[in-house]
Amino acid sequence: MRRWIFWEFSRGSWQYDVIVAVLLAFIFLTPREIFRDQPRASGVVLVPSSGTGRVFYIDHDALDQVAEEKRRSEANRLIEAKYKERLDIVRVETLYGSENDVKGFLAYAKE
């Protein structure tokens, strides 16, 4: 058992190959939910919406330190910087996680 724990097998042996196969299986077959690893959007992302306006997801780092009354103007600035177009942001909603921590913001723009 000591040899398996400290990986004391020479390269090319069948024991070495088994350990490598087990490690690769663990890496590629373990579901993300076990480690709470979820993909994160960076900055500002256009979200598909069914309404008439456009919806943007804004990462919490971009607006978290901004006062609530100034979030619309800051969201407008961020969207304009990324997408190079001027939009009228109607409202900005805060997205909360399961533990009431801020996950991000949704900015609603009218066409």
50 shares a domain with 93: yes
CB 32 within 8 A of CB 20: no
Which residues are bridge partners to 89 per DSSP? Answer: 109
- Domain range spanning residue 87? 44-110
Q: Is the dihedral of CA 89, 95, 101, 104 positive or negative?
A: negative
- Tell me the C-alpha to C-alpha distance, in Å, between residue 17 and each of 4, 7, 23, 54: 12, 11, 10, 52
**DSSP code of 111?**
-
105 shares a domain with 53: yes
The reply to whether the predicted model has a pTM over 0.85 is no
d(CA 22, CA 61): 38
Number of domains in the chain: 2
86 shares a domain with 50: yes
| pLDDT tens digit at each of 111 positions of the chain | 888 788 888 888 998 999 899 999 999 998 877 877 666 656 888 888 777 789 999 988 888 888 888 999 999 999 898 888 888 899 999 999 888 888 899 999 987
